[in-house]
Structure 1
């Protein structure tokens, strides 16, 4: 007598295999590559190592220690709403697995998370095939493994946040079929709603595809116009219901995007092909992926030879009605045009060109191809011999085209092309032989096992060749800096529990602060508000569309931005053994800050000039203008407007170099904005700038965008200048402090035939004057008595007229301010920060944050869920009543 578990295992054996087969394949590869916890390497590479792993650490910290981070965090650059970040990066239910992996073991959790998603993708596709009776038995893992290990999944293994889409897609498709055939709507609404909550970006792509799939499915099953309109109504109304169910995330995220990604929407569209369309054929070859394909490559389309053959034979298979195949062909043409025609490409990406990882929707194309292949290669109904022959001819043409143009494809070798041809030939021979002999029914199971064996080897080979083309962080490269940062964070939180920012002189990534609870001013996210990089660019710090790095502070910006502490890596001479921490920037200004703690690898300093997050400023600050590529003027104007100081006062004074030595370079008298050229292009060229400070003040050098690491290598006193490598606006570099009468030598080595000294100016800061001005500001800073991530309260005393409350909290309509118990209007100052008017005298201030439109979204989602529950209860009641009557 069989027990229930035995029956369950027998009944679902193929589904279980579909889950574990991709897991076993990829686990074997990870063990072979010695990925942690099986060795010294890790899965961290590119954005997974530089961005997502820090978001995962933030996820754990928020859920386990500080839930208020869900709505707002001062670890997001200078502070910002987090709901949009959660919606894009962290709403996957799979992330809950990471709660069991603290500290350096987080990389092991990422491996488990990755393997689980591989398995669930295979299981979801097998579930679709089984429930729709397209395939059964051993054929389920045959197609599901091709799906789980398709080229898109392998290439985007490092983009864990997108992989859920490939898991949800087959389930949503099945629920759509159920909606059309049986009128069952709850599963469709819940699954599509959950996908939109999980990741609205990939969910949007799935929504577009659902329209195409609905058209195809209705064409296949068309009966009459009455049923068509009924199904259309169900599809539209239930899809809108799913969107309403996800409104709690979608509505506030939409308005958040208007300040971030929405600012970069493509305004002009070119009706052109982005590349020669035939080139995408190269992506059906084994191992057709490498690092160069990440920033600007072709769509990842590898699905294995069997799926490709099945897809090709579908269109000439007379078992399917002509109208079905014609509609499928139209949809296929549309999908493939989307992979190369700019307007359609932009449509799938929300009218924004992707920054790296192009054609992110290609998982949908792969799903469509494998789905049609599974439909065509049904057990006991193999394609006819001539159909297989036609597929072989087309496949041969593909191989020939790639071979003829192999030099154009850096990601393909003759070895991988030969393997592809071999697997294709073997699969075609097996299909052709059994089709020709007419023994399909008798030997179909054997055929399935043979095809499964070949497919496993082929998709495994693709995974190995593709992933071997990437380099990965070692476990130590992640764990050692992360452990040091956690120790520093814990030390500071023990010493000082107030609200402040902490500057970094060493770093692992731009999201160190987010991962470790440090308000570091740096940040990297696709949903970063545009005003933040604009501000960083104006104060002389590196910025981009999706990142900022506070690495180039001055005494002025450090103080006004409340950089109360700085953490620096010790010099190699102070460390026993090798120093594993990498310095981010030069910071001689630390000599004027107070050392407060030290450990084996780092030192921590307190900035005595740091000013609170809010302070009283003159009303002139409201009218302050923007200064792009002139950070010296911006910081001067900022401090002067706060204190109502005359415009003639100078904090920075330009200083000449004492000596300039040109080596293999044409000499120039005026250096700033001069273009220097090599005299002999076959020889190295460099310029040596020397100066001796006459005071112990701070000295700063401004560097225009042409002086980044692509064009020049800079040395300070014969050591490589510590400076963030890329910047698009002029930056300020601190090169001396307390160095009176000590010669400073700066060397610029050319990387190209010429070098433009864009905004290349040396400045001396009047430290005494600046500290005097900052002391005035500190007298009227807010005294914070209570604070959390989304609220703070305190007192401030206003002694003069025409004063405002100025803060360095980024402006958002989500911030609500009560002044002496009454709500007041806020406004934006400096194009970035929160400000409001202040009366003279003593004022009590309360600031609280609530995500804009979150309440409305929550109401819509709640009402939608209530309607679904009432509908389910009503349906159950009617069903029970009918049973009683019967």
Structure 2
């Protein structure tokens, strides 16, 4: 009896251990060969900085706002696309609360690697459980799980965009819920699957929801020949699942709505090109694309010639429909929210094929003669593909290709042998081993060829992360001392702009950000309203999703609360700053004119008038005159005109052209072309503002360099390109020549203007702005408070990015918060004593929470109704 129990226990545990082993071996290159599962793109520039900051913020109770994200920004909504609504993320937050991890960029990447192993295992476990629920033998369930878990796109995402692998976990659960509902009439698991799919990521929830709708239509037989009776209950259950996720779903969707993602119309071809077609064998069954099917899935081709039961037909239709989508470029756009082509939807295609695989295997074993013919044809075609790879693709088959194909052919031959043998338990074991080897060879080959070699993960050895802007020892010491206490507010400018989210790692208040859903008003403030020259750490030009400040523009950096600058030691000290620390690599400078979180203004300019000024003139007014909506102008004066910068006369006609020529407003530039424009240097401290409009006649990228300050502008057809045509460069006051260097091409150039700003005037204005400022300041997360006493009417400028979600109370009563300076917050006040309190809640959180609560109530009623009906 005990032996029988042990045998039963072993049969249950062995498949699970096999799947765990497969998940580990899929990550061989990272677990055992010292490579890091990340590439030096968004995986490091965004996610490796996001993740630890979000985990620590949530563990600390800061759910809605962070001052270390850019100039300050939303955590729940603007990071819902990444992590902040993910169930796995909250599991990590709980672990952080219990164990208080010591995070770094390298430790974050290492943590995500182990989390990837767990997700890989759970995805295969879910698939295995789903197939076993359908009463298929364990070896078929293992085949299905391996086919799903070895999806190449899983490992591409694990290295490039790790949060997208979580979608793999919830598709098997949701389809199990659908089958369970069909069998029992109980919808709890279907609702749970919908909730998890949508809650984990609203973008992937959209893709998964399309698939769930298609699966429900294809897999669900009609009840009493009634479409309404069949699908209306499923639609209701879907709505409940969606509603349960609404507390996270709605903030995520609204964050996209309020963001500055530009609507560049994508150009979608009708068909893919000849090169794509030539590489199809390797894309579908190899590792050069994002599918990487096991070779055994080719058995689907036999289904066309076989009679099949209703379930097999339904599953085959579902897989076929998605496989047809694979050949239609427009469907890639549909799954990407009707935007440009993306491959992120492949996980549902992988699932559909893996889900149908047990049925295909069962049907094929019933026709051994046809199976033999198919196996021989498949083997012949696979050998042809292997032999002709170099001719078709320009690269010969490597050992991983040969191994994957060899094990794939072996699995086909073993499968045929199983159909002939009467007792095939040991053949089934060999078959599963061949499948596993096929999967491992494919995945490991992909990780080496693409992730490690092509994408450069092999260069990211542990020592790489000790460099500046990552886990740099000096920076840890410097920036840990520059985190403001709760009773103070200041920002720190980090002069090495390699990582725009650097402040999120160390917790100081920074001046740059990189996020796909940046708030529109703040993004426009930087790139359009004040046209701040953008650094180019991503090497892809002026693009959406990033902003960096301040290009040394004294008025902006002082007005927005910069107190410290951390600069490379050999870099020139900024005007008026005092050196307070020096290390081997950096110098730390303090700004005696720092204004903190607030400034007091009595001079205003209407937004209508302000919009008519050019960006250099706007910059000159920043510390003197507040931009407000027309109805809030304090006095209809034009005092602001006296503060406009001095105009310096320059003329392109008097410029010196080297390997360049100017005719009829067109500048033609050859290699090494330069335009030199003389100006008279100033003796007093100050800065020049040089502005001009320039666009290529042809749609091409443009590299622009003015006195050593570079801007890269990509072609307008580049989907992430930001559509600016004018550029502002700040130059030192001692400059006696403007040198413009441009990459070869023909350009329309116009509107050259040069202005002069006096630093002494700026410094005097900064002092005037501090005539009244808040006392008893308290800044923590999404709350700001302080006391203020004023003796004149004016507007208190707050260095808080404006949002309607900031709720203001003045002396305990709700008051109106103004949007000033085009993107920041202001409070209109008369003479008096004030207690000022502000609090922030993510847009859509409370309405979403109400829907979530109502949906939970609906789910409870549905459950009680089902119990009463059954009883």
**2:456 pairs with 462, 471, 480, which one?**
471
Deviations 1:178-201 (A, max 9, x none): 112112222221232122211111
In the alignment, which residue of structure 2 is the partner of 1:25? 26
Give 1:449 deviation, angstroms. 3.6
CA contact (8 A) 1:153 1:363 kept: yes
Which deviates further from its counterpart, 836-845 or 511-520? Answer: 836-845
| Match of residue 236 from structure 2 | 237
Distance 1:109 1:441, change over 3 A: closer
Q: Shift of the alpha carbon at 1:827?
A: 4.0
What is the CA distance between 1:623 and its match in structure 2?
2.3
1:85 is paired with a residue whose SS is: coil
Paired position in structure 2 for 1:63 = 58
Query: Alignment partner for residue 309 of structure 2, among 320, 345, 369?
Result: 320
Question: Which of 17, 30, 48 matches 2:43?
Answer: 48
Corresponding residue of 2:718: none
* Alignment map for 1:422-441 (pairs within 5 Å): 425-431=409-415
Alignment partner, residue 133 of structure 1: 135
- The residue correspondences of 1:509-548 to structure 2 (distance < 5 A) are 509-537=499-527, 538-541=529-532, 542=534, 544-548=543-547
Deviation at 1:54, TM superposition (A): 0.6
Contact 1:18 1:126 in 2 (8 A): no
Using the size of structure 2 for normalisation, the TM-score is 0.83
What is the aligned partner in structure 2 of residue 592 from structure 1?
576
Alpha-carbon displacement from aligned partner over 1:150-205 (angstroms, at most 9, x marks no partner): 12112212211110101111121111111121122222212321222111111121
Q: 1:164 aligns with which of 163, 166, 178?
A: 166
Q: Distance in 2 between matches of 1:597 and 1:367?
A: 57
In the alignment, what sits opposite 2:154? 153
- 1:300 aligns to 2:280 (yes or no): no
Is 311-320 or 149-158 further displaced after alignment?
311-320
8 Å contact 2:569–2:586 — kept in the other structure? yes
Match of residue 766 from structure 2? 774
Counterpart for residue 558 of structure 1: 557
Residue 538 (structure 2) aligns with: none
CA offsets 1:477-521 (integer angstroms, 9 cap, x no match): 334433444433321137885122222212441111223222212
Distance 1:462 1:133, change over 3 A: farther
1:456 lines up with 2:440 in the alignment: yes
Q: Which residue of 2 aligns with 1:502?
A: 492
- Alpha-carbon distance between aligned partners in 2 of 1:408 and 1:664, rounded to the nearest angstrom: 47
Residues 724, 818 of structure 1: alpha-carbon distance in 2 compared, 3 angstrom cutoff = farther
CA distance change for structure 1 residues 389 and 655 in 2, over 3 Å: closer, same or farther? Answer: farther
Give the alignment of 1:761-840 within 5 angstroms. Answer: 763-783=755-775, 785-801=777-793, 803-840=794-831
Equivalent of residue 732 in structure 2, options 733, 736, 739: 736
Q: State the alpha-carbon separation in 1 of the partners of residues 684 and 663 from structure 2.
A: 27
**Distance in 2 separating the partners of 1:119 and 1:127:** 12
Gaps of 5+ in 2: 535-541, 628-637, 715-721
User: Alpha-carbon deviations, 1:774-798, whole Å to 9, x = none?
Assistant: 3222224444622222121224455
Distance 1:5 1:863 in 2: 47
Q: Deviations over 1:442-495 (max 9, x none)?
A: 844444444443443344333433323220334333344334444333211378
Shift of 1:211: 0.9
Displacement, 1:848? 1.4
Partner deviation per Cα, 1:631-685 (whole Å, 9 max, x = no partner): 2132135445329633254335436599999685145699xx761422xx6xx54
**How do 1:656-695 and structure 2 match up within 5 A?**
665-666=659-660, 675-678=667-670, 684-686=672-674, 693-695=681-683
Q: Which of 689, 698, 712 is the equivalent residue of 2:686?
A: 698
Distance in structure 2 (CA, Å) of the matches to 1:373 and 1:17? 19
Residue 282 (structure 1) aligned to one of 247, 259, 279: 279
Equivalent residue, structure 2, for 1:578: none
1:20-52 per-position Cα deviation (integer Å, ceiling 9, x unaligned) = 3122231x211454225xxxxx63431111100
State whether residues 702 and 762 of structure 1, in contact with CA within 8 Å, keep that contact through their aligned partners in structure 2: yes
Which whole-Å deviations, capped at 9, do the CAs of 1:55-84 have from their partners, x for residues lacking one? Answer: 1121232134x322x211223322222211
How much does 1:620 deviate? 3.7
The DSSP-based 3-state class of the residue aligned with 2:784 is strand
Cα distance, 1:257 vs structure 2: 2.7
Of the structure 1 ranges 399-408 and 753-762, higher mean CA displacement relative to structure 2 is found in 399-408
Q: Is 1:286–1:419's contact at 8 Å kept on the other side of the alignment? A: no
After superposition, the Cα gap between the structure-2 partners of 1:621 and 1:313, relative to the gap in structure 1 and judged at 3 Å, is farther
Deviates more, 1:420-429 or 1:203-212: 420-429
SS at match of 1:145: helix
- 1: distance between equivalents of 2:701 and 2:743? 7
What residue in structure 2 maps to residue 84 of structure 1? 77
- Residue of structure 1 equivalent to 2:633: none
Q: Given that residues 658 and 691 in structure 1 are in contact (C-alpha distance below 8 angstroms), is that contact kept between their aligned partners in structure 2?
A: no
* 8 A Cα contact 1:588 1:736, kept in partner: no
Mapping for residues 560-579 of structure 1, pairs under 5 Å: 560-571=559-570
Give how far 1:223 is off. 6.4
CA distance in 2, matches of 1:395, 1:713: 56
Number of the residue aligned with 2:719: none
Tell me if structure 1 keeps the 8 A contact 2:279–2:393: yes
Does the alignment pair 1:346 with 2:333?
Answer: yes
Q: Distance in 2 between matches of 1:589 and 1:554?
A: 13
SS in 2 for 1:83: coil
Return the offset for 1:364: 0.9
Given that 1:554 and 1:734 are in contact with CA atoms closer than 8 Å, whether structure 2 keeps it comes out as yes
Q: 1:400 to 1:810 in 2, by over 3 A?
A: farther
Give the secondary-structure state (helix, strand or coil) at the position aligned to 2:851. helix
Q: Output one character per residue of 1:196-251: Cα deviation in whole Å (capped at 9) or x when no partner.
A: 211111112111101111122124xx56436x655423311111111111121123
**8 Å contact 1:504–1:551 — kept in the other structure?**
no
Moved more, 692-701 or 179-188: 692-701
CA contact (8 A) 2:776 2:787 kept: yes
8 Å Cα contact 1:500/1:613 also seen in 2? yes
CA distance in 2, matches of 1:624, 1:610: 29
Cα distance change on mapping 1:391 and 1:706 into 2, 3 Å: farther
Deviates more, 1:144-153 or 1:378-387: 378-387
* SS of residue matched to 2:588: strand
Shift of 1:383: 5.7
Distance change (3 Å), C-alpha of 1:877 and 1:615: same
Residue 581 (structure 1) aligns with? none
Deviates more, 1:149-158 or 1:761-770: 761-770
788-797 or 721-730: bigger deviation: 721-730
CA distance in 2, matches of 1:458, 1:229: 45
SS at match of 1:786: strand
Equivalent position to 2:320, from 326, 332, 339: 332
- Render the CA deviation track for 1:796-825: whole Å, top value 9, x for unaligned: 455545x33443422222111122332123
* Aligned partner of residue 548 in structure 1, secondary structure: strand
Rounded to whole Å, the distance in 1 between the matches of 2:283 and 2:268 is 32
